[in-house]
Amino acid sequence: MTDLQVNTKLPLRRNRPGTKAKDWCHWPEETSENMDSLYHIQQYIQQSIRRNPSDIDFILQSPDQQDEGVWKYEHLRQFCLELNDLTVLLQVFIRIKYHFKLINNLLLLFFF
């Protein structure tokens, strides 16, 4: 198989434009041994979160033969990704409630 050919036996793991919320990331799960992409650790963590977000012990459990430092780094990376999403969602409410106070405080701090 050349670089330009696509392996059609593997499921396509992409969310197409117009995908409904119930079908978002709705593809078969893979074991950590079968994941061979560059971001396989991130993919495994996200798959574990989608399976059961309340099962913290399972989400934090490292697969066999996984470097502990890389595992911790990828969890921190996933936390930052989700924190960014939360920040964007809260940004509208923060702007409405605190926008003028922040501007006034910054101007006062700047002038004094």
Angle of helix 40-51 versus helix 68-111 axis, rounded to 10: 80
pLDDT in tens, 69-101: 989 999 999 999 999 988 888 877 766 665 555
pLDDT at 111: 44
| In the chain, domain spans | 21-111
Q: What is the pTM of this model?
A: 0.60
